[in-house]
Amino acid sequence: MNGCAEYRKYLGNRRSALQFGALGLAGLSLPGILRGESTSASQAGRAAGRAKNVIFLHQHGGPSHIDTFDMKPSAPAGIRGEFQPIASRVAGQPVCEHLPRWASSLDQWAQVRSVHHNMKNHNSAGYYCLTGKAPPTDDQRLRDSLDLYPAYGSVVSKFLGSRSPGMPAFVSYPHIVRDGSTTPGQHASFLGKRFDPFFFNSDPNLPDFSLPELRLPGNVDLARLDRRRQLLQVVDAQLALREQFAVARGLDEFQQQALSILSAPGLKEALDISRESAQMRDAYGRTNYGQSCLLARRLIEAGTRFVTVYFASGIGGKGSEGWDTHQDNFTDLKKRLLPITDQAVPTLIADLRSRGLLDETLVIWMGEFGRGPKIGDRDGKGRNHWPDCYTVMMAGGGIAGGSVFGASDAYGAYPASDPVGPEDISATLYWALGIDPSSEVTDTLARPLPLTPGSPISKIFV
């Protein structure tokens, strides 16, 4: 017996040494930013869905629906604002004059014009937008905790896994940080770290954009990395008690995923945006957001299933607050926000369509709320937070282009018909991917929780 115990102890120590050796080869930072998505897809709760992938374009700060897609030209001047509507490809559905390219491709989009909730702070509303679950309180001090729901991409990673070996199922960039804290709803929460996104904060528009975490040390080649992996597997086979050690299993998942990504070229090649032609990069726009949208297409094409692109604070210029246009709303929209958006997003849709990816990729463009109908916030030129009614845009993945669901009232203040909430957007997202919205997940106390209490907006699909 003592001999067996000594042998198991030896194997355990030997395995620990190999684990740390493998991590040294792979680079300590990769498992830290990755935390591995499971590549084995759970089939529980599957339904028939047309979409295979999602690109979630989160517009942090809250875009003004009245100044973009749900304009009110007949409203008083203090509500309708400075911009004029222009005709689009969809008869009777004009858009803002500063979105001409989007106007010419509006027939690819569905508009949900009656989204509403009662969260007026960025962190609480942001969490609601990113998870489809109402927060316990409307408080800007809301922080990440295991009591809060996971990000959409983490749920999709758990249920469907990655589409390609060596590719993470869920990628996001860059994090939303607001008032010194990370907005909750961007991580896997109680689902576990292995479903966290592969995240990076680098600007893909920089000439030297790269992720050093994906590079092997100069003295290590893939053959040597693979020999280490094989040796780990041999030791695992000898350690009969291995399955009893949950912590060891968790470490192994992170390390094996890191080794898989390092030894497979997919992610590294997908993130090498320099492979794109100058013409294509110019088409998206040489901005952080434009190149981020291009990167999203590259990741989907390479096998990532869910990509979240945050139009966060700082994007579009130093000191930018994203779409949080409390001050000088019309100047900020005209000179910065709308031109960047009108170049990047329609190009993304056209690019996906030309590559045969649009029919299987659901694209969602939304913020955590809209902006208030009454002009005059702060400097007399801004619009304040407005969760009472706003617009969400969807394209691809079986969407009926040109459709409109719901309506706002004459001032864009409240839903006039078919009101829906963020939970219905989440149910629509899951349903489109073939995940039953009524499926359950378990929290850290093993309590079964529904994915969402919402209902799919099926009328906007073909």
**Position 396 pLDDT exceeds 80:** yes
Cα 172 from chain centroid? 5
Amino acid at 183: T
Q: Write the pLDDT tens digit of every residue in 446-457.
A: 999 999 999 999
Residue with tokens 């017996």: 1
Q: How confident is the model at residue 181 (pLDDT cuts 50, 70, 90)?
A: confident
Q: Write the pLDDT tens digit of every residue in 304-350.
A: 999 999 997 766 666 677 899 999 999 999 999 999 999 999 999 99
Residue 361, domain member (yes or no): yes
Q: Please, what is the average pLDDT of the chain?
A: 84
101: CATH:
3.40.720.10
**Position 255 pLDDT exceeds 90:** no
CA distances (Å), origin 179, targets 122, 335, 383, 412:
10, 25, 20, 29
Residue 145, domain member (yes or no): yes
Give CA–CA dist 356/354, Å, rounded: 6
Mean pLDDT value across residues 124-140 = 96
What's the pTM?
0.83
Supply the pLDDT for residue 27. Answer: 39
Give CA–CA dist 359/382, Å, rounded: 38
Q: How confident is the model at residue 217 (pLDDT cuts 50, 70, 90)?
A: low
Q: Which residue has the higher pLDDT, 141 or 389?
A: 389
Co-location of 221 and 322 in the same domain:
no
Residue 39, domain member (yes or no): no
Residue 55, domain member (yes or no): yes
**Position 44 pLDDT exceeds 60:** no
Supply the pLDDT for residue 182. Answer: 83
Of 270, 293, 311, the residue that ends a domain is 270
Amino acid at 327: Q
Structural domain boundaries enclosing 8: 1-34+215-270
Mean pLDDT value across residues 252-258 = 54
